[in-house]
Amino acid sequence: MPSKHSLDADTRFGVPPSRVRIPSGLALRLAAPLRAAFILALSALPSLACQSNASSLQGLDAPLLDSDKPTGEAGGSEGGEAGDSETGNEEGAEAGSGSGGGSVPLDFPQEDETGEEPAPDCLDEGKIPLVQQPFDAYFEALEDKIIPKLLPGETELYDIPTGPQLAQFRQAIGLLLAEEFCDAQEVLEPLDYRLIQLQDGNRTYWVAEEAKTDQGSSLHGWGTFAFNPQAARPELGVWVPHPIFDEDTPAIAYEAEKKQGPAFFFLAGAHRRASAQVVNANGDYRASDMAHWRQTVGHEVHLALVDARQGVIALQIHGFEGDNHNSVTSEEAILSSGSTQFSSNLQDQWSAALGQAGIDHASCGTAGWTTLCATTNVQGQSTPADDSFMSLELEADFRSNPDQWPALVGALD
C-alpha cells in the first residue's frame, strides 16, 4: 500500500486523474507560424482585389484608386497621422494598421515580447475548482478527515510542520489576502494543499484545502483556512482550535458564519492530542494543539491576519466542563481577551450583549474572574492587548443545545 505521501495530486484530493494535456507553451509555439501565415494571407486580400479593379478601369481613364496609390497617400498615411493626433489615438492607429483605409482590423489575441500569447490565467483554465455547496455542509465533511487522538501503540499521523513550511504557508495566506489567487495556488501546491472556490448562495470563500490520505484523513493534520473578500464582517475571523475535543464547537462556528458573515475561518485539522510530542512542562499540551503551540499552521494563519489587517478580530470558540472547575457555578459562557488583568473594549461590548441575550456568563478581568481566561493561549500571547484576540469558552450543556446558539452568535455584533 502506498504511503500517505506517495499519492498523486488528483487522487489525494479525491478527484479523477487529469487527462494528458499539451503544455500551453508548446501549443503556442506550434500555433504561432500558422497564425502568422494566416494573417499575412488575409491582409493581402483587399490589396489584390483593388489591383484587379484598377486594371480593368485603366482603359477608361478612370482615376487611380486609393488602394493603388503609393503607400502613405491614402488609408495608411491618414490613419497614421490620425493615430499621432491627440484626438484620434485609437481610431487612427486602427485605420492606419491595414493596407488600405477600407481594411478591417483582425481581432487576434495580443502577444507578448517573445511572440507568444500571454499564459492563460489559472482561473480561466479551471485550475481552481468551483464548488457549489453550503458552507456548513462542506466543513462538516472535512470533520471526518480530522486526525484523531493518538492512542498508545498507534502510529502518529500528525506531521509537525517545519519552519520553512510554516513560512511558505504564511506567504500563501498573504497572497490570498492580496487576492493573488493563482500565485497563492502555486505556493500551496508543494505543501499538499489546493485552492478551491466555495460558493454558498451569494457568498464565495477561497479555501486552502489539505490533501487526504488513502485512508481518508488529512495528509498532515494542519487545518483548513477560508477567506471571503466580500464578507459582511471584513474584520472578523472565526477559529475552531479543538474541533474534536471541544464537542459541538464546529457547529456553533458554522452558525456564527451564517449570522455574522466573517471574512476568515479556520478549522484545525487534528485532535489536540494527535501528536506524541509534549510541548509544556506539565505534559498537558501536545505539538498538535494549535492554541498552545506556536509551531502550527493555525498559529501562523493568526499571525498573518493580525499583521496584514488592521482591526482584525480573531474569535476562538472553545469548550469546557463546568464540573471540572470549582469556581464555575452556573456560567454558560466565559469571554476573554487573553488576560485576567483587563477586559478589552470589544470584550465589554460582547459581554453586555450576552447579558441582554439572557446568557449566563463571566468576563475575564472583571469582578475578579480568573478562570478559563486563555492566559496560556499562544495566539492571545502573540497578539497586542487590544480587540484582535477573543476567546469564547462554552459549557458542555450549552453547547449541546442548538436552540441556544442563535442568541449567542447574535450577540457577537
Query: What's the whole-number mean pLDDT along residues 49-74?
Result: 44
pTM equals 0.73
Pairing of strands 224-227, 203-210: antiparallel
The model's confidence at residue 181, banded by pLDDT at 50, 70 and 90, is: very high
Q: Is residue 96 scored above 60 in pLDDT? A: no
At 330-341, the pLDDT tens digits run: 999 999 999 998
In 3-state terms, what secondary structure has residue 158? coil
Query: 162 to each of 20, 90, 169, 211, how far by Cα in Å?
Result: 34, 54, 11, 18
- Residues whose CB falls within 8 Å of the CB of residue 97, separated by 6 or more in sequence, listed in order: 79, 105
Q: What is the mean pLDDT of residues 18-33?
A: 42
What local confidence, expressed as pLDDT, does residue 35 receive? 53
Residue 16 has pLDDT above 70, yes or no: no
Segment 63-84 mean pLDDT: 41
Cell 457568498 belongs to which residue?
A: 203
Instruction: Decide if pLDDT at 156 tops 50.
Output: yes
- What was the pLDDT predicted at 112? 53
Place 74 in a pLDDT band, splitting at 50, 70 and 90: very low
pLDDT at 4: 58
Q: Express as a percent the part of the chain with pLDDT over 90.
A: 60
What distance in Å separates the CA atoms of residue 396 and residue 249, rounded to the nearest whole number? 10
- pLDDT number for residue 179: 96
CB neighbourhood size of 301 (10 A): 28
Instruction: Indicate if the pLDDT at residue 94 is higher than 70.
Output: no
Specify the higher pLDDT residue, 12 or 240: 240
Most confident of 41-50, 190-199, 386-395: 190-199
| pLDDT confidence of residue 128 | 95
Asked whether the beta carbons of 253 and 243 are under 8 A apart, the reply is: no
Orientation of helix 297-308 relative to helix 163-177, angle to 10°: 40
Give the per-residue pLDDT at 3. Answer: 52
Going by pLDDT thresholds of 50, 70 and 90, the confidence category of residue 95 is very low
As a whole number, mean pLDDT of residues 213-235 equals 95
Whole-number mean pLDDT of the chain? Answer: 81
Q: Bridge partners of 195?
A: 208
Give the least confident one: 21-30, 37-46, 179-188, 402-411.
21-30
Contact 274, 158 (CB under 8 A): yes
- E strands within 33-173? 130-132
E strand or H helix at 199, and its extent? strand 193-200
Beta-ladder partners of 186: none
What's the CATH class of domain 130-410?
A: alpha beta
**Segment 139-167 mean pLDDT:** 95
Hey, which of 36-40, 77-81, 128-132 has the most confident mean pLDDT? Answer: 128-132
pLDDT reading at 136 higher than 90: yes
| CA 115 remoteness from chain centre | 33
> Which pLDDT value is given to residue 278?
96
Q: Sorting pLDDT into bands at 50, 70 and 90, what band is 216? A: confident
Cβ-based neighbour number of residue 63 at 10 Å: 8
Give the residue among 339, 342, 300, 336 at the shortest CA–CA distance from 317: 336
What are 304's three cell numbers?
A: 498573518
Domain ranges of the chain: 1-119, 130-410
What φ, ψ does residue 256 adopt, rounded to 5°? -65, -35
Q: For residues 169 and 192, what is the distance between their CA atoms, to the nearest angstrom?
A: 11
| Mean of pLDDT values over 116-144 | 87
Q: What is the pLDDT of residues 259-298, one digit of tens each?
A: 999 999 999 999 999 999 999 988 899 999 999 999 999 9
Sort strands 333-336 and 313-320 into parallel, antiparallel or unpaired: unpaired
- 179 vs 205: CA distance, rounded Å: 11
